[in-house]
A and B are shown apart, each in its own frame.
Chain A
Amino acid sequence: MSKVLVVTSGKGGVGKTTTSASIATGLAQRGFKVAVIDFDVGLRNLDLIMGVERRVVYDLVNVVQGEANLSQALIKDKRIENLYVLAASQTKDKDALTEEGVKKVLDSLKDDNFDYVVCDSPAGIEKGAQLAMYFADEAVVVSNPEVSSVRDADRMLGLLASKSYRAVNNQTPIKQHLLVTRYSPQRAEHGEMMSIEDMLEILAVPLVGVIPESSAVLNASNAGQPVILDKESDAGQAYSDTVDRLLGQDKPLRFLTVEKKGFFSRLFGG
């Protein structure tokens, strides 16, 4: 049985694509056959984050419109076995995506024995975002510890619960997960940033992970390597834990406490 997992947020720039790339890669590393699809028609970026931007020939819209087969459009990752990328169209109109078209693509991925389909949602709550989440079985809602991001995440949670295929057809609701990104324990400790507890109290959704603010994320996107492949980095390890939790493992949260500072940094302030 293949599972459709949407990565969404409402607000832009919180780390949806970074998260989609790392979760898809992490699932494939664990032996699952995974496709990750960019739903941001007109503004594709997943290809860059995955490092496959020069290998895009056909895209999601080509497949939906029957101009290419799924097998022609799926880009096979060169690092990880069983990982495939489906890029968004850069030239087509946003209205090129339809509910039937997306269903067709997801159904053929199921027929091809994919275990997971990760849908990277565009920002906003327009058609692209609605289609990315419509057929989802599980949702990872990404939020920064910042007011506008949390508000938009809450709006998105409401839409997942009311406007998805599962909601409309009275099926078991989409399983929702909260992923907090760009978290800074120092700033939370100083009362400059909402804490994880604050965010959980407001959003009331189970936490699947906390990704610390980390220089590794920009380094990874510069290089076109999903940050989860940077096993030495805090963010990479946090994503790896997140994937394990998505698969039902009980992993304690890491990188939530302030590291002890040395004498000099304490003297002069961090």
Chain B
Amino acid sequence: MGLLNFFRGKKENTAKLAKERLQIIIAHERAQNRPSHEFLPKLEKELLEVIRRYVQINDDAVKVKLDRDGDVDVLELNIVLPEQGAKE
């Protein structure tokens, strides 16, 4: 930081901006290009079958989502059970 910079004032941190933009776009593109996404429908179907052995649920009651948080994969399962609970 020389005198010239001092009088010019502090510049904004564009590196931080670059990193934030990259994290968002890369997470998005990785999700799109990932071959592992191909197994999701099958996983959903099989989960549905397993759960149905114990609880009667609708065809659309199981939702599977694969996300990425930083360098960690997050598999999100959302299963909606009927209000009456188990059939027994």
Contact = CB atoms under 8 A, between A and B. Distances in A.
Interface residue range, chain A: 20 to 34
Contacts of B71: 201, 204
A48 interface: no
B60 interface: no
A202 B2 contact: no
Contacts, number: 61
B15 A193 contact: yes
B71 to A, nearest CB: 4
Interface stretch (A100-108, A129-137, A146-154): A146-154
Contacts of B5: 269
Contacts of B11: 190-192
Interface string B1-35: 11111000001111110110111011001100111
A265 B4 CA distance: 11
Contacts of A195: 15
Interface residue range, chain B: 20 to 34
What DSSP secondary structure best describes chain B's contact surface? Answer: helix
B85 interface: no
Given A191-B15, A195-B15, A204-B71, A151 B22 contact: yes
Given A155-B29, A265-B2, A269-B2, A202 B35 contact: no
A191 B1 CA distance: 13
Nearest to B34: A158
A269 B3 contact: yes
Given A158-B30, A158-B33, A191 B14 contact: yes
B42 to A, nearest CB: 18
Contacts of A190: 11
Interface of A: 146-147, 150-151, 154-155, 158, 162, 188, 190-195, 198, 201-202, 204, 265-270
Interface of B: 1-5, 11-16, 18-19, 21-23, 25-26, 29-30, 33-35, 70-71
